[in-house]
Amino acid sequence: MPDGQIGYTRSGAFMRNSEGTVVTPSGYPIQPEIQIPADTSTITVASDGIVTVQTPGNVDAQEVGQISLADFVNRQGLQPNGESMFTETPASGAPIIANPFAEGMGRVVQGSLESSNVNVVQELVDMIETQRAYEVSSKTITSVDEMMRFIAQNI
């Protein structure tokens, strides 16, 4: 990050900057840095994080780097810094950095972005059902209160 601190992101929308360095959507270089040659025709990221490029005149793909993953003992302890960036805190613990598939880490999927695990339609239906149940309960309490008041006044 600009202040020299290491940032962590869940955003996988990496791109190549004008110097050929792979960067986050905010323009921060990933670590370890990966340089993509200017004349690259194809970039491939394997599920184990190895980045290879195909350049004109070469039959075989050339390995240019490997994407590492980081995990934390307490992910909720990370400090959000905006732009999908997080920094380590004492609450999060030290990062566990490893290559994909190593030490229980996940895998890398090229061309895919993490999607939400929430079904928006189902959550909206659940919210409406909860609101209706609250309204029914509220009306029941009001009705019972009116009946008790009527009984108290007429006895």
CB 42 within 8 A of CB 64: no
Structure confidence by residue, pLDDT tens digits, 32-63 = 899 999 888 899 999 999 999 998 888 889 99
57 contacts: CB under 8 Å, gap ≥ 6: none
Closest CA to 47 of 71, 67, 25: 67
DSSP string, 89-100: -TTT-S-EEE-T
* 51 and 20 within one domain: yes
The answer to whether residue 155 scores a pLDDT higher than 80 is no
Asked if residue 103 is part of any domain, the answer here is: no
Q: What angle do CA 4, 46, 93 make, to 5 degrees?
A: 40
* 74 and 147 within one domain: no
The answer to whether residue 126 scores a pLDDT higher than 90 is yes
Q: How confident is the model at residue 147 (pLDDT cuts 50, 70, 90)?
A: very high
Total domains in the chain come to 2
Question: pLDDT at position 117, please?
Answer: 77
* 57 and 83 within one domain: yes
Structure confidence by residue, pLDDT tens digits, 79-125 = 998 888 999 999 999 999 998 888 788 888 888 777 777 888 999 99
